[in-house]
Amino acid sequence: MEFDVLVEIPKGQRNKYEVDHESGRIRLDRMLFTSTQYPADYGFIEDTLGEDGDPLDALVLLQEPTFPGCLIKCRAVGMFRMTDEKGGDDKVLCVPATDPRMEHIRDIHHVPEFDRLEIQHFFEVYKDLEPGKSVEGANWVGRVEAEEEIARSIKRAEEAPPQH
């Protein structure tokens, strides 16, 4: 299964950018309150709707960070299941579909344990100092479960009433 991920935040950033879905432009939402940085390029899978009412979040493992607005053809290798103050807030872990350097990464157990721990730690603490924000219950699942969630999120988006 291949899909497009739109990058909002490059790896190494503390600035939290979001796509303004009305204008299609990138907006600075805030700087993270903690002294943490995004551990991978971060954005969302196009044409999906997650449980939180936003497009399904995605992280892309790359050799070099890209830029806000960059579109990457990806495939899922796993997913970080978590909830925040708005409910389900899963993060699909992806690699570029056509990068031969990532060909060997097919499932979550192919991602080095330290990389998974770094990503997990980031999402467990990045909202710690923000009033009214929280993160709960987090665990890793494999590619099959990630692809099932992507399929559910695509269906959710197709069945959602049109946005005006």
| Tens digits of residue pLDDT in 58-98 | 999 999 999 999 999 999 999 999 887 777 789 999 999 99
Find the catalytic residue in 89, 90, 99, 115: 89
Whether 89 is catalytic is yes
4 in a known ligand binding site: no
Q: How confident is the model at residue 108 (pLDDT cuts 50, 70, 90)?
A: very high
Query: Residue 25: which domain range?
Result: 3-159
81 in a known ligand binding site: no
Residue 82 lies in a domain: yes
Note the pTM of the prediction, 2 decimals: 0.92
Per-residue pLDDT of 12-47, as tens digits, reads: 999 999 999 889 899 999 999 888 999 999 999 999
Residue 80 lies in a domain: yes
- Tally of structural domains, the chain: 1
Residue 149 lies in a domain: yes
Residue 25 lies in a domain: yes
Let me know: does 12 contact 39? Beta carbons within 8 Å.
no
In the chain, what percentage of residues exceed pLDDT 90?
Answer: 73
Per-residue pLDDT of 116-133, as tens digits, reads: 999 999 988 887 777 777
Average pLDDT in the chain? 92
16 in a known ligand binding site: yes
Q: How confident is the model at residue 160 (pLDDT cuts 50, 70, 90)?
A: confident
Residue 67 lies in a domain: yes
18's tokens? 């979001």
Residue 164 lies in a domain: no
- CA gap 13, 26 in Å, rounded: 15
Residue 119 sits in a domain whose CATH number is 3.90.80.10
